[in-house]
Amino acid sequence: MEQSSPLGPNIAKRFIRFALTLVGLLILRGILGALPMLKSASAIGDTLLSPLMVSYAVVDTAILLVVLAFGLNLGQDIQANAPSLSALGKIVTRSTIVIVLIIAYKAYEMPMACVFVDQTDLVSLGKNSNAPGSYADFMRIWGQMVGQVNAAAMQNATGEALAAYQKLALAVFRQPPNIYAWIFLILIAVPGISLVPLVSRNLELFTELVSQAAKTLEGTAHAPGSATAPRVSTDDGTVAIDKHLSPADVVEKVSKLKSLLDAEAISADDFEEQKKRILGRPIVPKSVTGAEDLRKLKTLLDASALTQQEFETCKKHFLEQI
């Protein structure tokens, strides 16, 4: 069954544009990593920051901005076009912020380490054996390496050699108190904690949405033309799709459409179009019509899901099956 999105007419285009932009930026990132002039470049100044890492950081920033803009716009669309799902819009917005912060933590950790832990820091730390625990053992091993490599060699390091120094800088950067990690933990906790009561207060709404989506998918799977649609044999031996509906099926499908309309999941135009398709399909010959089917049909009339003319036509077809 075809339905329009409650998130606005341009949501499909927005999804496609987001996906294409994201893929394009990831391809650009891969191209930058394959450029020989970036891979073979030495560190910038007294830092361990390489031109390749700076290029990665720029592309990662663009990716984060794209993800953030998409998530925020999606949340705003939900709140603006589906007021009954405004809570879902807030959850999407805050979840986007949490996801972006988590990605930013990993994306900028290495560049920050290469900026704040410079070459002289590594040399001095390598000579310090007073650090506690396994960190002291690590630094003693590094001290032996520094004894064989001077500062000039570190400055001229490129490729894998420079990457080894950068990983060491990251290990040093992560040592307590690791202010960088604490800052991001606080930033992530603010929207993250606010999600808990928001989700708990709307569990019933989300359960209903999932239930409706499952029913819709099930209806689509059994729709005419699908792989699982009922089939009947014709007189010439061929197999054709059975497009007939029983009275109970007609009532059930119109009732589902009305519930989607009441939940603002579809528009009034969509409701009328799909209802005409359902009512236009023939009734299964010799199907059983019970009193319950007629009562449900009358309920649809009382709920304004059917016009008086539609009700009379359906009732006539139903009674013909008795």
Question: Residues 181-199: pLDDT tens digits?
Answer: 999 999 999 999 988 888 8
Q: Are residues 31 and 137 in the same domain?
A: yes
% of the chain surpassing 70 pLDDT: 72
Question: Residues 67-84: pLDDT tens digits?
Answer: 999 999 988 888 887 777
Residue whose pair of structure tokens reads 């031109």 in the numeric block: 51
Q: Are residues 153 and 295 in the same domain?
A: no
φ and ψ at 241, to 5 degrees? -75, 135
Q: Are residues 169 and 304 in the same domain?
A: no
Domain count, the chain: 2
Contact 229, 241 (CB under 8 A): yes
- Whether residue 310 is contained in a domain is answered as yes
- Whether residue 147 is contained in a domain is answered as yes
Q: Are residues 255 and 308 in the same domain?
A: yes
* Pairwise CA distance, residues 175 & 182, whole Å: 12
Q: Are residues 185 and 259 in the same domain?
A: no
Look at residues 180, 201, 222 and tell me which one is the last residue of a structural domain.
Answer: 201
* Pairwise CA distance, residues 289 & 267, whole Å: 31
Query: Is pLDDT larger for residue 278 or for residue 61?
Result: 61
What is the residue-averaged pLDDT of the chain?
A: 77
Q: Are residues 149 and 282 in the same domain?
A: no
What would the mean pLDDT of 80-109 be, rounded to a whole number? 88
Weakest mean pLDDT among 87-91, 195-199, 289-293: 289-293
Q: Are residues 246 and 266 in the same domain?
A: yes
Three-class HEC string of the chain: CCCCCCCCCCHHHHHHHHHHHHHHHHHHHHHHHHCHHHHCCCCCCCCCCCHHHHHHHHHHHHHHHHHHHHHHHHHHHHHHHCHHHHHHHHHHHHHHHHHHHHHHHHHHHHHHHHHHCCHHHHHHHHCCCCCCHHHHHHHHHHHHHHCCCCHHHHHCCCHHHHHHHHHHHHHHHCCCCCHHHHHHHHHHHHHHHHHHHHHHHCHHHHHHHHHHHHHHHHHHHCCCCCCCCCEEECCCCCEEECCCECHHHHHHHHHHHHHHHHCCCCCHHHHHHHHHHHHHCCECCCCCCCHHHHHHHHHHHHCCCCCHHHHHHHHHHHHHCC
Confidence of residue 298 (pLDDT cuts 50, 70, 90): confident
Look at residues 170, 201, 232 and tell me which one is the last residue of a structural domain.
Answer: 201
- Whether residue 107 is contained in a domain is answered as yes
Question: Residues 137-156: pLDDT tens digits?
Answer: 555 555 555 454 455 656 66
- Whether residue 68 is contained in a domain is answered as yes
Q: Which of 302, 33, 84 is nearest to 202 (CA)?
A: 84
Contact 212, 260 (CB under 8 A): yes
- Whether residue 5 is contained in a domain is answered as no
Look at residues 169, 201, 233 and tell me which one is the last residue of a structural domain.
Answer: 201
* Pairwise CA distance, residues 305 & 257, whole Å: 9
Q: Per DSSP, what are the bridge partners of residue 240?
A: 232
Question: Residues 204-263: pLDDT tens digits?
Answer: 777 777 777 666 666 555 444 444 444 444 444 444 444 677 778 888 888 888 888 888
Residue positions counted in the chain = 322
Residue whose pair of structure tokens reads 């009382």 in the numeric block: 302
- Whether residue 1 is contained in a domain is answered as no
Q: Are residues 195 and 230 in the same domain?
A: no
User: What confidence score (pLDDT) does residue 154 get?
Assistant: 62
Please give the torsion angle defined by the CA atoms of residues 192, 197, 201 and 206, in that order, rounded to the nearest 10 degrees: 20
Q: Are residues 141 and 247 in the same domain?
A: no
- pLDDT value at 89 more than 70: yes
Confidence of residue 55 (pLDDT cuts 50, 70, 90): very high
Q: Are residues 196 and 219 in the same domain?
A: no
- Whether residue 6 is contained in a domain is answered as no
Q: Are residues 270 and 143 in the same domain?
A: no
Q: Which residue range is the domain that position 261 belongs to? A: 212-320
Q: Are residues 287 and 144 in the same domain?
A: no
- Whether residue 32 is contained in a domain is answered as yes
Please give the torsion angle defined by the CA atoms of residues 28, 38, 116 and 167, in that order, rounded to the nearest 10 degrees: 90
| Global confidence as pTM | 0.58
